Structure 1
Amino acid sequence: MKRRDFIYLTGIGVGASVLGNSPVFGKSVPLDAALNPVDAALKKRMADVALNAARSKGATYTDVRIGRYLNQYVITRENKVQNVVNTESYGMGVRVIANGSWGFAATDKLDNDGIAKAAELAVQIAKENSRLLTEPVQLAPQKGYGEVSWKTPIEKNGFEVPIKEKADLLLAANAAATKNGANYVNSALFLVNEQKYFASTDGSYIDQDVHRIWPVFEVTNVDAKSGKFETRQSLSSPCGMGYEYLNPRASDKIQGLTT
């Protein structure tokens, strides 16, 4: 195998491993889907369908989690954009206590019938589980919070930034690496938006909008004389910020040395 082919395949493997650690893949969606959040009033109505269906089947406690997970991946290599991916995963989980035991069911069918069936299945599972109980579940008292919301305090939603701007940033980083001696460089930007909704029979309806961003890169330098090569990856971790995380500040710049 030629060295270039080896490094190319290694780069693919690294990209796959990074993608494999992402929260969810989900289904591919157009970019504008990520810019249209689900209305909180609609999520409350969906949650109430589950709460009422579970109660009607004998649940003494129910909580509902509606999750919409949006992901965007922009992946480059040297002076080329290799891929741009937008995905969505959307569903509901229903957790209940019935006959003193826990039960759980989930669904991605979010019409009234699909939601009610998931809630009823959760109650059925709880009742079956109760046959094995030695002591019933007892929850500590919890006062409901009513209808509240929380959002990651971002300055700029990364999903609203044009793809070209993000790709240009990665390609500029690649160019800086090759200019300073790197033979090969891969870089990627991962964006995550978790739109979560929690509701319970305690009286809580909590809408959450969570954002994370993660820039990564890997550079490889090959010694032409010996044929040996060295590879280094970035050390950054996902950060709970918006696109402002990537806005450069003079105070953050580190002058590097090249040989």
Structure 2
Amino acid sequence: MGKAKRRRKAAEKKVAKLRSQAKDLRNEARKIAKEADLDERASELTDAAQDLAERVRDSDTLARASGKGAELAGVAAEKGGELASRAKDRFEESGLDERAQELAEQIRKSDQYKHARETAGEASDKALSKVGDWLSHSPAADKLGVEPKKKRRSRVLVAVLGALVGFIGGLAVGARKSETVEEVGRLAGRVGQDTPDIGAPAAQKDIEDEVRTRLGEDPRTAELPKLNVNVAEGTVFVRGSVPDGTDHEVVRAVISTVPGVEDIDLQLTSVGASN
């Protein structure tokens, strides 16, 4: 009698252990189903585990209970692997990386993005032209070796203008056009005082107009979008966005045919063709 009681207790302990394992498997199944967004599969797995747990509880022999526990573990492992595989396939099929890249490309091609770049470029080009003219007529011109009517460009002036291009470009990012011009004005005020506000010479304006005309008339460049063109001391500064595949040397060759052009500074940004 005592031996049968001990066997019964041992069987009950093992059954309790199997119930605990079944409970853990149910919890694991719910977790996997939640992560994989497969609630329906999780429900089926939970029901199967619950059914097997009930059979283990109602079994008459320890061997049968152990067999059902092993069967439950096998089913849970198989279902868990299937759910994990489905979750991985769903993630790969969703193409999240490709969608992120596509969104970034759409932003880069958007009208707002292009307008912001062109506005910043236009502001910096106009400010650069004004600063170049101002320097050539300011009291600092003698110190810098700048002569306003010389055909040959001063290397000192080119260096100063190059530094200003970088400074203006930094100010133009994310700023309004008026703010950029005002900041450049304050910078110019620190270089020299009491200088006249001189606009672009007529000759430089003529060169700018002629460059735009030839770019629009030449078949090789006629299809290009509108570019920002400014002239200072014989140097033509061209800014803007052009389609991918545009030959910059062709643009340079067309501009070089304009009388009075001594040097060309191209800063063109290539963008993909809009859909």
What TM-score does the superposition give when structure 1 sets the normalisation length? 0.24
Instruction: Point out which structure has higher relative CO (alpha carbons under 8 A, 6+ apart).
Output: 1
What TM-score does the superposition give when structure 2 sets the normalisation length? 0.23
Q: Larger strand proportion, structure 1 or 2?
A: 1
Q: Larger helix proportion, structure 1 or 2?
A: 2
Larger Rg: 2
